[in-house]
Amino acid sequence: MTASLRTTAKPPSIGILTAGGDCPGLNAVIRGVVKSATQLGYGCIGFLKGYEGLVEPVRSMVLDKRNTSGILTQGGTILGSTNRGRFVGKRGIDETVAIEPELLASVRRTLDEMNIVGLVCIGGDGSLEIAQQLFEHGLPVVGVPKTIDNDLSATAFTFGFDSALSCATDALDRLHTTAASHERIMVLEVMGRHAGWIALYAGISGGGDVILIPEIPWTWEYICHKVLDREAGGTKFTLVVVAEGAHLPEGELVVREATAGGQVRLGGIGALVTEELQNRLGRETRCVVLGHLQRGGPPTTFDRVLATQFGAHAVRLVHHRRFGEMVCYRPPDIESVPIADAICHLRTVDPQGSAVQAARALGISFGDCPATESPFSMPAAASRGVRQ
Ligand code: F6P
């Protein structure tokens, strides 16, 4: 145990950790937890580098109003995070991995020694799977969902998504003018893992012409058709937004790297789409991969408000001993659900949902039908109710 970094807390304290990939708004949750916990008389201990900070060598810091003041607007996390290491909750999309019993015992020891009465675990689906396993082991855990991918079921939005979206929208705004000046096809690859939320929303808010997402199979012919249709109408440039997790027409995922632990790093589809369109159409085509810019920088106002509410509500759950629950956003309210219910499946884009239908109505192509086809003749567009 590293004595210099470890602080023994005698008063009842709330522990906080941030696990998995970072995103804007994590610090806003930490601040929300610390401020509201302090009002109720709890101390706060932040564990460093996700779940790793809970086990030997334990690494933690006392959090108080002073050292969390001013972090509301900061991107990243003052506690550090990792999506590698000894704690792995999930492999691939839905394979659960059991945490080693020695690690579970070690976490229990740390919480007991530090008098942690509730542990707030802020993470995406893999990190919340770990939180669930800690809870099943009898530990006092509550969950806070985070991810730019917005792919967690049980919450309408995760914080981080709006900030990533604003970055992708800004990129499209910038690409628009240069695409128009040079009469080029510009391809923007965005993150999102196996869900197309960032690509869909950015494509709508940034004036994309073609949106390729994992949830809608597409063909090269229909993308080319859209480009040619625009040209026939006098517009000589096209913006294509492609989600990193979109499958190629042959069904393949484009993977940058397979990491230890069976996870994959997605990425590279933007370059493939660019090359193929250039070859097929003979038009100048350029690719931009937005990458981790989407995860950096200050949170948007929406994410600050959501993250702050999540932090305050997580403390309420600890105070009322509602362990094993995760805070969630069910507009207009912040509520909670069992963590177990929240991690059982990914929330992906509904191809018949209102956002996709609105995009189609505007003439945006998903590469799945001829550009000239009336959007209102798409299956189920007219008769269904409005869904996100
Ligand atoms: O889950 C968030 C996310 O940014 C995904 O959109 C992306 O696929 C992945 O994390 C990137 O992970 P890493 O930071 O390990 O490259």
Q: Which residues face 219 on adjacent strands?
A: none
In ligand 1, the atom with minimum distance to the C-alpha of 267 is 8
> Coil, strand or helix: which one is 160?
coil
Q: pLDDT, tens digit, for every residue of 196-240?
A: 999 999 999 999 999 999 999 999 999 999 999 999 999 999 999
What pLDDT sits at residue 334? 98
**No. of H helices and E strands in the chain?**
10, 15
In ligand 1, the atom with minimum distance to the C-alpha of 294 is 4
Burial class (CB in 10 A: 0-12, 13-18, 19+), 154: buried
What pLDDT sits at residue 135? 98
To the query of whether residue 149 is one of the catalytic residues in this protein, the response is yes
Cα 193 to ligand 1 centre (Å):
7
Mean pLDDT, contiguous 10-residue spans, the chain (388 residues)? 48 96 97 98 98 97 97 98 86 82 96 98 95 97 97 95 98 98 98 97 98 98 97 98 98 88 87 98 98 98 98 98 98 97 92 96 95 60 45
Which member of 149, 151, 162, 303 is catalytic?
Answer: 149
Cα torsion for 31, 35, 36, 38, to the nearest 10°? 130
Cα 70 to ligand 1 centre (Å):
27
CB of 59 closer than 8 Å to CB of 53 = yes
Burial class (CB in 10 A: 0-12, 13-18, 19+), 265: exposed
The residue whose C-alpha atom lies closest to atom 13 belonging to ligand 1 is 21
| DSSP category for residue 56 | S
> Coil, strand or helix: which one is 382?
coil
CB of 45 closer than 8 Å to CB of 96 = no
Q: pLDDT, tens digit, for every residue of 250-274?
A: 999 999 998 766 678 999 999 999 9
Residues with CB under 6 A from ligand 1: 21, 83, 124, 147-149, 191-193, 244, 265-266, 295
What pLDDT sits at residue 195? 97
Give, rounded to a whole angstrom, the gap between the first and last alpha carbons of the chain.
48
